[in-house]
Amino acid sequence: MAKNNKNGNNTENSYDESDIQVLKGLEHVRRRPAMYIGDVSSRGLHHLAYEVIDNAIDEALAGYCDKIIVAINKDGSVMVDDNGRGIPTGMHPTEKKSALEVVMTQLNAGGKFDRNTYKVSGGLHGVGVSVVNALSEFLEVEVYRDGKIFYQKYERGEAKTAVKITGKVKSKTGTRVTFMPDKQIFKNIVFKYETIEDRLRELAYLNKDLTIVISDERAGIKNEFKFKGGLVDFVKYLDEGEKSISGKPIFISGERENIQVEISFQYNESYNDDIITFVNNINTIEGGTHLEGFKAALTRTLNIYGTKNGIIKTEKITLTGDDFREGLTCVLSIKVPEPQFEGQTKTKLGNSEVKGIVQSITGEQLGNFLDENPSIAKKIIEKCLRAAEAREAARKARELSRKKTGLEISGLPGKLADCSISDPAQCELYLVEGDSAGGSAKQGRDRRYQAILPLKGKILNVEKARINKIVENDEIRTMVTAIGAGLGNSEEFDESKIRYNKIIIMCDADVDGSHIRTLLLTFFYRHLKQIIETGRLYIAQPPLFKIKKGKSELYAYDESDRDEILKSFKVDKKAIVNAGSEEGVVVGTGESKITISRFKGLGEMNPEQLWATTMNPETRTILQVTNENASAADKMFRVLMGEEVEPRRKFIEDHAKYANIDA
C-alpha cells in the first residue's frame, strides 16, 4: 500500500523511519546467504558440512580430539560427531542464556578469538556453525560434557527447545551436530558423498594423529581414514602411478616463533609441478608467503649444490625456479596462530614473517638431505637441466614464430571473431569445438561482447608434454594469443592482460566432445591455472533435446528436464520407450503430435537455436570451473591424462556404471 509523504501526498518512493528494518537473530544470514557461504549451489551446500567439520578439526588441532565421525543420513541430513571437549553449556555471563545456544544462534560468538582456548584455528571468524544453523531446516546438537548429555533443537536458526539434559555418560566428551539444509535456501539439498570424502581424506593426511570415519547411509558406504605417515603418505597418494626419481618422499619439519612447518615432496618423471599448500588446514589455492619461502629455498639450495658439485655448468645454461620444479609433487602445511589472508578469494597467506621461517627450515634440511644422498641429488638436478633445455627450446620456438608472423605478432589470431567492446570486464570468449559450430556461434552471438574462437580437432594432451612441445602446438598458441596474458607458469604471464572476464568451453555433448573438454581443462589447470582461480573459466551446457509441439519449441538439457517438459504436456515418460527410441514421435491424450529430436552436436543447431539455448545470458546455463579441492583435482588429471595406464583402467572400471555414452 502506498504511503503519504510529509505533504500528505501518496508516494511509492518515500523513505522514513518505517523503512529501517531490524533483522533479528540470524535472519540476515537467511536473507543474504551468499555473503556467508559463497553461493546457494552445490558448492555452498557442501560448505555447510565443512563448517561443522572444521569446528571438530579445530578441537583436534588444540589436542583434544582424535576421532571424527561424519555421516550422510538416509533422510539426506548430515551428522558430525567428535570426541573433543564439547561446546560449553553453562550460563553465558553476559547473554544470560546457555553458552551452547549463544554459539549456535549468534554470529561472532565462539572460542576462536581467545588464543588461550585455540592457539591455532581454521575457523577464525566465529560465524561457522551459527550460519549452518540459520540455513538449515532443522539442526540438533548433543553435547557430551561433565558426565551429562545436553540437547537442543533449532529450526531455521531459532531455538525450539531449551538446552536440556537427556542422559548421563561416564567419560565420553564431545559434540554431535545433525543438520538438514533448508530447501527454501538451496536449489538442491543432495550431498555428494565423493565431495565430502575427498575433503575428509585430505584432512586426515594433514592431521596424522586423527581418525576420520565417513559413511553414506543412503548407499551403505563406509570408509575410515588414518594416515600415520601424514604428509609423506599424502605425497605418495598424489603420486600414485607416477615413477619417482627421488625415492621415498622427502620430509621436512620445524617450528619457529610458534609457527609450525611441515613439508613433504618428491620428484617424478612427469613434466608438471604440483605444490599444494595449507595454512591451519585451509587450502591456500592462491599460495602466499609460505609458498614463496619454499620456492626460494628449493631454487637456492639445489642451485648451490649442483654448482658446487659440478653438475650445473653455469657457462652452458642458467636454471630458473620453473626448472627446479618440473616433476615436483609437494604438500606444504603450516600452522600459524594469527594468519592474515588476502587475494581474490581470501586464500593467499600474507604474513611476512612466514617466508623467512619456511625458507630457513627448508634450506637447512634440504641441504642436509642432498649431502647425505648424492645419487638422488644428481638425478634431481639432471632432470632440472633437461627442463631448462626444453624451456630454452620453447623460447627459441616462440621467437621463430614471432619472426614468421612479422607484424601480426601484435595482432590476434585470424580465426578469432573478436567482440567490439574492449573492456575485459564485459567480454567473454567462447572456445568452440569445430568450424561448423564455430560458424553458427559467430552468426548467433552478440558481437558487442561475445568473441568466438573455433578449435580444430583435439588439442595436445599437455599432461604428457614438455613446454617446448606445448608452445609449438597451433591450437594452444592460438588460445594463448587470444586470451592475451601468456602462459600461466612462465615469466611472461601478465594477469592484467587477460582480455576476457569469462572464457567458456563449448563442446558437443558426446564422447568426442567430452574428450576435447577434458583436454582443454587439463591445459587450463596445468598452464593457465590463474584463469580458474580467478573464476573466469566456464563450461557451456548445450541442450540434448528439442521438443516440438505444434508451433512451440522447448529445449531440454538432460533426460530429467525432458521428462518434466513431457509431463507438462501430459505425456507419460513410457511413451518415449513405446516410440522405440529417445528420438521419435510421441503421441499425447488426443493432442497434436510431439516430436523429440536429440542433438548429436552443436553444428546441428542453427545460429538462432545456439543463441537461444547456449549463448544468451538470459537463458543459458554455464557451469563455473572451480578448484576447491586442489589435491582431488590434481589426482584426477594425473589418472585420466597421465602416462600410466593402470590407474586409468581402474578408474574406468570403477566408474563405468555411471557413464552415459551415446551409441
Dihedral sign for Cα 288, 293, 294, 296, please.
Answer: positive
Enter the DSSP assignment of 249: P
The H or E element that residue 568 is part of is helix 559-568
Q: Identify the sign of the CA torsion 554, 559, 564, 566.
A: positive
Pinpoint the alpha helices (H) of 207-246: 231-238
All three cell numbers of 346:
581470501
For cell 583435439, what's the residue? Answer: 458
263 touches 251 (CB < 8 A)? yes
Q: Within its chain, how far is the Cα of 613 from the centroid? A: 27
Which amino acid is present at 403? Answer: K
Instruction: Decide if 433 is catalytic.
Output: yes
At 538, list the grid cell: 566456464
To the query of whether residue 512 is one of the catalytic residues in this protein, the response is: yes
Mind spelling out the 3-state secondary structure of 433-449? ECHHHHHHHHHHCCCCC
For residues 435 and 236, what is the distance between their CA atoms, to the nearest angstrom?
43
Angle (CA) 520-523-527 rounded to 5° is 150
CA separation for the pair 376, 598 (Å, rounded): 57
Q: Is 364 a catalytic residue?
A: no
CA–CA gap between residue 163 and residue 105 (Å, rounded):
13
DSSP state of 415: T
Q: 97 and 104 in contact (C-beta within 8 Å)?
A: no
CA distance to 66, 110, 578, per residue, from 119 (Å): 17, 14, 66
> Are 396 and 327 within 8 A, CB to CB?
no
The catalytic position among 58, 239, 433, 533 is 433
Report yes or no: 289 and 354 within 8 Å, Cβ to Cβ: yes
> If residue 283 lies in a helix (H) or strand (E), which one and from where to where?
strand 282-283
Q: How far is CA 610 from CA 442, 503, 618, 619, 661, in A?
A: 10, 17, 13, 11, 23
Instruction: Please check whether residue 268 is in contact with residue 243, taking contact to mean a CB–CB distance below 8 angstroms.
Output: yes
* Residue 508 known to be catalytic: yes
Q: Dig out the grid coordinates for 568 from the structure.
A: 507438462
Q: Which of 39, 217, 292, 512 is catalytic?
A: 512
Per annotation, catalytic residue among 182, 273, 418, 508? 508
CB atoms within 10 A of CB 378: 15
Measured from the Cβ of residue 663, the count of other Cβ atoms closer than 10 Å reads 3
Is the distance from CB of 452 to CB of 432 less than 8 angstroms? yes
Catalytic residue among 39, 146, 510, 643: 510
* Alpha-helical segments (H) within 328-473: 352-372, 374-405, 435-444, 467-472
Question: Which H/E stretch holds residue 527?
Answer: helix 511-527
Enumerate the active-site residues: 433, 508, 510, 512
